[in-house]
Amino acid sequence: MVWSQGCALGCPGCFNPQTHSGSGAGVVRTAGEVAEEVLADAACVEGVTVTGGEPLEQPAAVAAFCGAVRARSGLSVIVLSGFSRAEIEADAARSAAVADADVVIAGRYNARLRLARGLRGSANKEYWLRTGRYTAGDLAAVPELEITVTDDGTLTFTGMAAPEGEF
């Protein structure tokens, strides 16, 4: 999973507000550097998901990253965006950013329509299936929570559901 930093959409109830500041606390890397890191582990994963923050607020970097992944691997590419499909299609830079994506999950998060499954935070978010690689059913089957344990014992929780219990 690739996390972008910065989001000006301000969806009330967003589960990831720590990524909204454009400055962030992380290390700034180029799209090429991130692609190299992902491609180094390509044998271990099926694909890459680009999320944030709002990835399409950095459309040139997302286009470069997705293009590099597509050109140099068989990995799938999924982009999660708060922009609607119409907003993406109406903007040349955003359209170029998702040109190499298999799926775009588009639309602003709406807390009243919270769904938290199938990679959609709320029911209004649209699956935009750009290639035949995945179906809506494939996406609906994605687990609500994934837990990764690294070699040093670090736990990483990814997904829509909050983990229960003590960790």
Residue-level pLDDT at 67: 96
145 near 119, Cβ under 8 Å? no
Torsion of CA 129, 55, 53, 69, to 10 degrees: 80
Q: Which residues have CB under 8 Å from 141's CB, separation 6+?
A: 118
Pairing of strands 76-81, 47-51: parallel
Structure confidence at residue 26 (pLDDT)? 62
The rounded distance, in Å, linking the Cα atoms of 164 and 28 is 32
| DSSP-derived pairing of the beta strands 2-3 and 47-51 | parallel
Supply the pTM of this predicted model. 0.83
- What φ, ψ does residue 19 adopt, rounded to 5°? -100, 5
Ordered mean pLDDT values, 10 residues apiece, the chain (167 residues):
84 76 69 88 85 93 96 95 97 98 96 87 94 93 73 71 51
Q: What is the SS3 assignment for 95?
A: helix
